[in-house]
Amino acid sequence: MNLKLIKGMRIVAATHNPGKVPEIAALLGQDYEILTAGQLALPEPEETETTFGGNAMLKARHAARLSGEVALADDSGLSVAALDGAPGVYSARWAGPSKDFALAIRKVETRLEERGDPDRRAWFTSALAVAWPDGPCLVVEGVVEGALTFPPRGDRGFGYDPIFIPDGGTQTFGEMEPAEKDAISHRARAFAKLRAALID
């Protein structure tokens, strides 16, 4: 069995967000025909796992099984040391149904104050899974470590970017040029591992 991504191959991105296609094409290289689970009207599975890798694998396997094509899925989030790794796999869910990240950020700050722990270390994780319809699945993870700062700074980026300063830097991800973030991000690191494993 050939567990490599071959040029021209169709890959189903297990997402309903068409905005992710250019991002995936840029990170993977332009040589693939990328379809989304949304375009194929595949139902979204519930993210029932407790690890980023587990959820990425669950989504990739689900899309591969239903589409009969190789499928790629990601799962990512912010982990805070003093909160025992929360919000972790619940990073998106902390923003509520209206995806309000100002609310999610306030929740992180409040929980930290309640703990009374001065430790502000945190890290972003991106897990990527590639599943073949006949069973095999590869999972890789990229991590970027840093520290949280309050109040939030910067209006670039998304999600928890305005409170995260990567190690060695002074700006938050929300203040950085997108290219600067892309050079060191958890997602870029995960894609680099994926390319090394699956592309000749």
Contacts with ligand IMP, residue ranges (CB under 6 A): 74-78, 91-92, 124, 157-161, 173, 185
Centre a 10 Å sphere on the Cβ of residue 158 and count the other Cβ atoms it contains: 10
Q: Decide whether 69 or 161 has the Cβ nearer to ligand IMP.
A: 161
The question of whether 100 is a catalytic residue gets the answer: no
Distance CA 137, CA 130 (A): 5
Q: Decide whether 36 or 76 has the Cβ nearer to ligand IMP.
A: 76
Residue 31 is classified by DSSP as: -
Q: Decide whether 70 or 146 has the Cβ nearer to ligand IMP.
A: 146
Question: 3-state DSSP: the chain helix, strand, coil percent, rounded to 5?
Answer: 35, 25, 40
In whole angstroms, the minimum distance from the beta carbon of 135 to ligand IMP comes to: 24
In whole angstroms, the minimum distance from the beta carbon of 118 to ligand IMP comes to: 23
Distance CA 109, CA 199 (A): 41
Amino acid (1-letter code) at residue 102:
A
Q: Decide whether 138 or 184 has the Cβ nearer to ligand IMP.
A: 184
Centre a 10 Å sphere on the Cβ of residue 39 and count the other Cβ atoms it contains: 13
- Residue 141: strand pairing partners: 127
Torsion region of 180: left, alpha or beta (phi above 0 gives left; psi -120 to 50 gives alpha): alpha
CA atoms within 13 A on the CB side of 8: 0
In whole angstroms, the minimum distance from the beta carbon of 158 to ligand IMP comes to: 5
In whole angstroms, the minimum distance from the beta carbon of 29 to ligand IMP comes to: 21
Which residue number has the CB closest to ligand IMP?
159
In whole angstroms, the minimum distance from the beta carbon of 4 to ligand IMP comes to: 25
The residue behind tokens 């999972």 is: 139
Structure tokens at 53: 């890798």
Q: Decide whether 32 or 124 has the Cβ nearer to ligand IMP.
A: 124
Annotated catalytic residue, options 74, 75, 117, 182: 75
Active site residues: 75
